[in-house]
Amino acid sequence: MNTTRRDLFKFVGGSVVGALFTPAPWRLVTDTALWSENWPGIPRPARGEIRTKFTHCALCPAGCAVRARCVGDQPVALAGVPGHPLSHGALCAIGLTAHHLPYHPSRLKQGPAGEAAQAVSAAISKCGPAQHAAVLDLRPGRTASWTYRRAMASVKHGLYLAPPSPFGGSVAFDLHQAKTVLSFGAPLLDGWGTPGNVIAARENFRLIQAEPLESRTASLADLWLPIRPGAEEALAQAIANVLADGKPRSPFAAQTGLTEQQITSVAEELAHNGPALVLDGGQIPAVMELNRRLGSLGRTIVARRETPVPESWKKAAPVTNLASVPDGSIRVLLIDESVMDAYLPWSMIERKLVPDDPLVVTFAWSRQGYARHAQYVLPAAVYPEIFDDIPPAIDSVAAVFRIAAPLVEPPAGMVNPSEFIGGLAGLPAADALRQRADAIHQAGRGTLFTCAGAKSVPVKEVKPDDFWKALNEGGCWLDAVDESGAGHRFLWPANADDEKRSSAPPEDLPLVAITCETRAAAAPLSPLMSKLYQESNLRLAANHAALNPATARACGVGEGARAILRTHCGSAQIEVSLDSGVPPGVVKVAAGPGIMDLCGASARAQVVPA
């Protein structure tokens, strides 16, 4: 039989109709959905045994305890540790996303370690009489810091530098003792001290926030005193006057922008609703004077004992305040920015360098920080890879010792700063942490808190190896509070960086730039923080600025406009948004390293259209 085309059509048509009565086409139809559910681009989450690890967050001095949910060895979620004596289960947004940091796109992968070592030793040998080879440690008090000090003690012209810190000595603010807290712009509820600890104490004290901007702390304070920018000292003086002779002395009161009545009532509150505590962001002598007057010293401001160190370490270089180093005297500067309490404006550091080709080597996780100014940038491990301890936070009354135990292995090619710097002096730094732990154990004071069971045991009852093991599993040593601390002599803060308060404002810089989000400048941020900085306007993103509409109009910039922010240190591009909550004459600018170099905490500034 011969088939015509007609037969063919019949056949095809018939089979199509027939197929409709089989499950095949319907199955196919439903599967296309599943197919489009996971197309090639979309990663499949790895499965595996769920484990829990504990460690401490090294991103800021708070060193909050962290519980990591791991698939196999890979952390997939971080959380606080409920019931922890210091962090009380709290963890901030930066800490919650820290397990992303090892995969940050802008992370450093390798650097010229050997070359840098040679360059350093060469430069040290070139050091003149009044010149130094210095290590700038942006988180002093660590075991690594001791390594640096020991190394610098034996290195020729060695110098160990630390950022200016309040009262030089180890002093703690005891929020739990305070009934009234007056804060001069200290971000008390936005990352100050140990967030969990502050929140735990918050119920018990009344918070008065004196600050030009309505910061997060100000908006949640019991009372917000919207003072003029830079009027902190004046207000402190004025309050001191009231305490001294019942009324504020006129010049100060006028400078603050508050009414005498306001000042008086605050002063009375501090005096009568004690114990009081006065905090500030920088170090203002008047503030400490005020604390002395209010009798806070020894009650809400207490001395904290040092965490024990091995005797053999005591032969170490002294801690030198960066501010007190003569300008142009540092030839070699090694900066450890792998962990950082706060970002110091580069201008502050640069002044100290010798004018003719100084050598700057930095240990960094990315090129965003001081790496921009360094000859050699050595890639350092980043939390949660690092193996480091975190010194006690400013609000922890007792000495503590806790370790940021690595949750993931650092990739190859990372340089360990303490081993590098120790190497300069031929010091083995590898097991410094262990030695310190043993020293603490020998001292036999205090208790050991273990996260797993959330229980504390006296150190005496723990064997050294168990102690060390516990520390590596997120355990935390707490010193016993010592009552003898009351007799501690408090050093008044050195009258640090002066240009901030240089009296007469130059008229070409009509505005005051006040930086916010300063923590974002110091700590590395996970890409996921875009939720806060880009996908919502919850926080002002780096290099974004908010101006009062009137001020913006005066500067000739509008909502969303690109503009240039200029200070005596230079200029940077910013994106402007309007906010009638910002006081006139103020630029509220979000800190990034660039902005910090420009403005520090605050500076005279000018905004011009880009």
Partner 1 sequence: MIARYGMTIDVDRCTGCGACMVACAVENNVPPAHQGANDRKGITWIRVFQVNNGQDYPNRRSAFVPVLCQQCGKDAPCASVCPQQAVEIDPATGIVGQMPERCLGCRYCMAACPYHARYFNWWDPAWPAGMEKTLNPDVAPRMRGVVEKCNFCHGRWHAAIERAAANGRSIQAVDYVPACVEACPTGAIQFGDLNRPESAPARAARNGNSFRLLEKIGTDPKIYYRSTKDWVHRISSAPAPGLGKERSRG
Partner 2 sequence: MDKEFIARGVKRCSTPRFLLWILPWLSLLAFGLYSAGLCLVKGLNQTNMDNRFAFGLWIFLDLTVIALGAGAFFTGFLLYILKLKELRAVINSAVVIGLVCYSGAIAVLMVDVGQPLRAWFTFWYPNVHSMLAEVTFCITCYLTVLAIEYLPILLRNRKLREVPSFLVFEHELHKLVYVLAGVGTFLSFFHQGSLGGLYGVLRGRPFAFREGFLVWPSTFFLFIVSAAAVGPSFILLTTWLVEKISRKRLARPAVLELLGRISGLLLAVYVLAKTMDTLIWINRTSPDAGFPAAQYYAWRPFGTWILFAEIVLFGLVPALVMLAPWLRRRTGWLVSAAAMACLGVALNRFVLTVQTLALPTLAFDKFLSYWPSWQETGTFLAVVAYGVLVYSFSFRYLQLFPEERELKAEVRQEKEEELPAMAGRY
Instruction: Note the residues at the interface with partner 2 (CB under 8 A).
Output: 29-30, 32-33, 36
Q: What is the CB neighbour count within 10 angstroms for residue 435?
A: 17
Q: Tell me the closest approach of the beta carbon of residue 43 to partner 2, in angstroms.
A: 18
233 binds, among partner 1, partner 2, none (CB under 5 to 8 A by kind): none
Q: How far is the CB of 526 from partner 1 (least distance, A)?
A: 7
- CB 182, CB 426: distance < 8 Å: no
CB of 319 to partner 1, least distance (A): 32
Q: Which of 522, 536, 485 is nearest to 167 (CA)?
A: 485
- Find how far residue 248's CA is from the centre of its chain: 36
Question: Residue 129: which of partner 1, partner 2, none does it interact with, CB under 5 to 8 A by kind?
Answer: none
Least CB distance from residue 36 to partner 2, whole Å? 5
User: Alpha helices of 381-517 — where are they, by DSSP H?
Assistant: 417-424, 432-443, 464-472
Nearer to partner 1 (CB atom), residue 480 or residue 538? 538
Smallest separation, CB 14 to partner 1 (Å): 32
Q: Which does 1 bind (CB under 5 to 8 A by kind): partner 2, partner 1, none?
A: none
Measured from the CB of residue 534, what is the shortest distance to partner 2 in angstroms?
14
For the chain, helix (H) and strand (E) counts, in that order, are: 19, 26
Q: Judged by CB, which is closer to partner 2: 3, or 32?
A: 32
Which partner in partner 2, partner 1, none is near 581 (CB below 5 to 8 A by kind)? partner 1
DSSP 21-36: TSSHHHHHHHHHHHHH
Closer by beta carbon to partner 2, 36 or else 503: 36
Q: How far is the CB of 52 from partner 2 (least distance, A)?
A: 36
Q: Which is nearer to partner 2, 26 or 492 (CB)?
A: 26
92 or 332, CB closer to partner 1?
92
196 binds, among partner 2, partner 1, none (CB under 5 to 8 A by kind): partner 1
**Amino acid at site 267:** A
In angstroms, how far is CA 356 from the centroid of its own chain?
Answer: 32
Q: Looking at beta carbons only, is 100 or 299 nearer to partner 1?
A: 100
Place of tokens 């007056």: 182
Min CB(535)–partner 2 separation in Å: 10
Q: In terms of CB distance, is 244 or 528 closer to partner 1?
A: 528
Q: How far is the CB of 582 from partner 1 (least distance, A)?
A: 6
CA atoms within 13 Å, Cβ hemisphere of 12: 5
Q: Closer CB to partner 1, residue 23 or residue 105?
A: 105
Count the alpha carbons within 13 Å of 484 in the hemisphere toward its beta carbon. Answer: 2
75 binds, among partner 2, partner 1, none (CB under 5 to 8 A by kind): partner 1
Residue 579 binding target from partner 1, partner 2, none, CB below 5 to 8 Å by type: partner 1
10 Å CB burial of residue 431 (0-12, 13-18, 19+) is exposed
Residue 171 makes CB contacts below 8 A (sequence gap 6+) with 301, 302, 303, 304, 394, 488, 490
Closer residue to partner 1 in complex, CB, 459/555 = 555
Which of partner 2, partner 1, none is residue 114 near (CB under 5 to 8 Å by kind)?
A: none
Contact 567, 474 (CB under 8 A): no
Least Å distance, CB 76 to partner 1, is 5
CB of 25 to partner 2, least distance (A): 12
Q: Are 405 and 473 within 8 A, CB to CB?
A: yes
Binding site for partner 1 (CB under 8 A): 33-34, 36-39, 41-43, 45-48, 71, 74-80, 89-93, 96-97, 99-100, 102-105, 189-190, 195-196, 199, 214, 216, 219-220, 226, 526-532, 534-539, 548, 578-584
Is residue 275 reached through a cis peptide bond, with omega within 30 degrees of 0 on the bond before it?
A: yes
d(CA 161, CA 320): 5
- Alpha-carbon span 55 to 130, nearest angstrom: 43
Binds 226: which of partner 1, partner 2, none (CB < 5-8 Å by kind): partner 1
> What does the alpha-carbon distance between residue 59 and residue 95 come to, in Å, rounded to a whole number?
7
Contacts of 217 (CB under 8 A, 6+ apart): 183, 186, 187, 188, 189, 190, 192, 207, 209, 211
Rounded distance between C-alpha atoms, residue 124 and residue 428, angstroms: 20
CA neighbor of 370 nearest in space, from 353, 346, 393? 346
31: CB partners within 8 A, 6+ apart? none
Instruction: Answer for the pair 604, 506: CB distance below 8 angstroms, yes or no.
Output: yes
Question: Pick from partner 2, partner 1, none: which does 102 bind, CB < 5 to 8 A by kind?
Answer: partner 1
Comparing CB distances to partner 1, the nearer of 335 and 514 is 514
- Provide, rounded to whole angstroms, the least separation between the CB of residue 203 and partner 2: 28
Residue among 19 and 491 whose Cβ is closer to partner 2? 19
Which amino acid type is present at position 188? Answer: L
Kindly tell me which of 97 and 606 has the beta carbon lying closer to partner 1: 97
> From the list partner 1, partner 2, none, which binds 356 (C-beta under 5 to 8 Å, kind-based)?
none
Going by C-alpha positions, the residue among 177, 176, 287, 193 that lies closest to residue 231 is 287
**33 or 504, CB closer to partner 2?**
33
Residue 32 binds: one of partner 2, partner 1, none (C-beta under 5 to 8 A by kind): partner 2
Q: Which does 91 bind (CB under 5 to 8 A by kind): partner 2, partner 1, none?
A: partner 1
Contacts with 513 (C-beta within 8 Å, 6 or more apart), sequence order:
545, 565, 567, 586, 587, 589, 598, 599, 602, 603, 604, 605
**Residue 514's CB: how many other CB atoms inside 10 A?**
25
Q: How far is the CB of 33 from partner 2 (least distance, A)?
A: 6
